Structure 1
Amino acid sequence: MAERKSALKRAPARPELNEKLEKAKKQVITEEQLQEQRASFVYGNAPKGSRITKESAIKATKHIRVVTPAAA
């Protein structure tokens, strides 16, 4: 059996990536951009052969309601 490398090593330093991540954390997206992302997610994860179209995904994202769970 082949020897496996340990996956418990620390990741190498990536200063450019860390800089981009910090910049991304401060980025504010608009409701329109969020809706586009939702529609893209829905369409991209639709099963092959389904009748979901990009247009139907966009329409569906306009009717999403966020519900706050009741206190237990």
Structure 2
Amino acid sequence: MAERKSALNRAPQRPTLERLLAEAKTVHVTEAMLREQRASFVYGNAPKGSRITKASAIGAVDRVRLKAEAE
């Protein structure tokens, strides 16, 4: 199997990326932020031509709950 040359070199320095990653580690995600992300995910993954709207995606996020695993 051929060796991958990219694995033999060190990654380039990316100070901007390192700073952004450090900042991201300190962000506290609220329930409202999670709800907005879930609605965006539902809306973004809806099939083209479906009748799903952003408002209906938000409503679905508030109604649908995951079941806890049975122990």
**TM-score, normalisation: structure 1:** 0.75
Provide closer, same or farther for how the CA distance between residues 36 and 7 of structure 1 changes in structure 2, counting only shifts above 3 A.
Answer: same
- Counterpart of 2:20 in structure 1 is 20
Residue aligning to 1:33: 33
Percent of aligned pairs sharing the same letter: 55
CA deviations over 1:29-69 (Å, ceiling 9, x no partner): 21111111110111011110111111110001112324332
Q: CA deviation at 1:7?
A: 4.0
User: Which whole-Å CA distance do the structure 2 matches of 1:25 and 1:63 have between them?
Assistant: 30
Cα distance in structure 2, aligned partners of 1:50 and 1:30: 30
Are 1:57 and 2:57 an aligned pair?
Answer: yes
How many correspondences in the alignment?
A: 67
The gaps in structure 2 that reach 5 residues or longer are none
- Report the Cα distance in structure 2 between the residues aligned to 1:52 and 1:45, rounded to whole angstroms: 10
Secondary structure of the equivalent of 1:62?
helix
TM-score normalized by the length of structure 2: 0.76
Matched to 2:18, the amino acid is N
Q: Which runs of 5+ in 1 are unaligned?
A: none
